[in-house]
Amino acid sequence: MIHPNDQQPKTPNPKLTVVAHMMTPGVVQIPGDISVTEAATLLEREQMPCLLVKDTELHFGLMTPADIVKKVVALGLAPDDIEVRAIMSHPVHFIEYDRAADEATTLMMSSGAPILIVTKQEQPVGVLTARDLVLSPKRCQTRVPATIGVMDSHSPGAQHQAIIVQLSHVGAMVQTATLLLPGTRVFLRFTLPDLTAPLTVTGTILEDYDPVYESGRAGTTGSPSVDVQFTGLSPADQSRIKAWVLQNSPKSTDLA
């Protein structure tokens, strides 16, 4: 995949809010020759802000609900008779998952694009919207006890003690003495203060994140931190975490 904003890889700062912290994980990709009706059904079923249209090997577009309304419904056209390639928006703007959120804001402002496709090693992995940047809180600084373990196939393995030190609805920074390599699939089990029901989420250790050692924290001095990107989080659990983070984040960082 070709990136319009071709940039050299960077080693991200784990304390920095990056694109992966704020995006909606997952990308639904479709060919350009399916009907608008089929695409609209996919949008509704997957609950995604857009679909990535791969019309040819090098020609991409986006289809959003707004495209359907403005270019089909408003004109009185029949969605069954129109191919997605006829109404898709382009060009598509891409950004790497480890870029700072401020870079995403700058790219949106300079390009006028309200949606960015997030990539990881040139493969689509998520969607970032202007609404995400405005409404999604930065990671909440916290101290939540947790257990973490490696996923063995589809079964959880041994559990290890951990502390969640940063949390959002798409991921967490976790302190643990357990060695967890980038790309490892893990499960994370924790209970948020003021909420009685425990949460068990799965995730992946983000690549290119060097272990961070924090000192001066009781009980965790010298513990390395790993960045966990949540995967397969249910809408209900995502809403619970998002609401808790909003309530417990400093007011000055709610709209970052």
Number of domains in the chain: 2
Same domain, 94 and 159: no
- Which tens digits make up the pLDDT trace of 144-197? 999 999 987 555 567 899 999 989 887 888 999 888 887 788 999 999 988 888
Same domain, 24 and 116: yes
Phi, psi values for residue 81, rounded to 5°: -100, 0
Question: Does residue 12 have a pLDDT over 80?
Answer: no
Cα four-point dihedral sign 102, 106, 108, 109: positive
Q: pTM value?
A: 0.60
- Which tens digits make up the pLDDT trace of 239-255? 888 889 888 877 544 43
Average pLDDT over residues 113-121: 92
Same domain, 45 and 122: yes
Are 35 and 100 in contact, with CB atoms under 8 Å apart? no
Q: How far apart are CA 10 and CA 16, in angstroms?
A: 13
Same domain, 124 and 187: no
Question: Does residue 123 have a pLDDT over 50?
Answer: yes
CATH code, domain carrying 169: 2.40.10.220
With cut-offs at 50, 70 and 90, classify the pLDDT of residue 135. Answer: low
Are 50 and 25 in contact, with CB atoms under 8 Å apart? no
For residue 86, the enclosing domain spans 19-134
Same domain, 155 and 122: no
Q: Residue 8: its pLDDT value, please? A: 42
Same domain, 126 and 189: no
- Which tens digits make up the pLDDT trace of 20-40? 888 888 899 999 999 999 999
- Assess if residue 206 is contained within a domain: yes
Domain end point (choices 103, 134, 165): 134
Average pLDDT over residues 115-133: 90
- Which tens digits make up the pLDDT trace of 211-231? 333 333 333 345 688 888 787
With b for 16 or more beta-carbon neighbours within 10 A and e for fewer, the 194-233 pattern comes to eeeeebebbbbbbeebeebeeeeeeebeebbbbbbbbeeb
Q: How far apart are CA 211 and CA 224, in angstroms?
A: 5
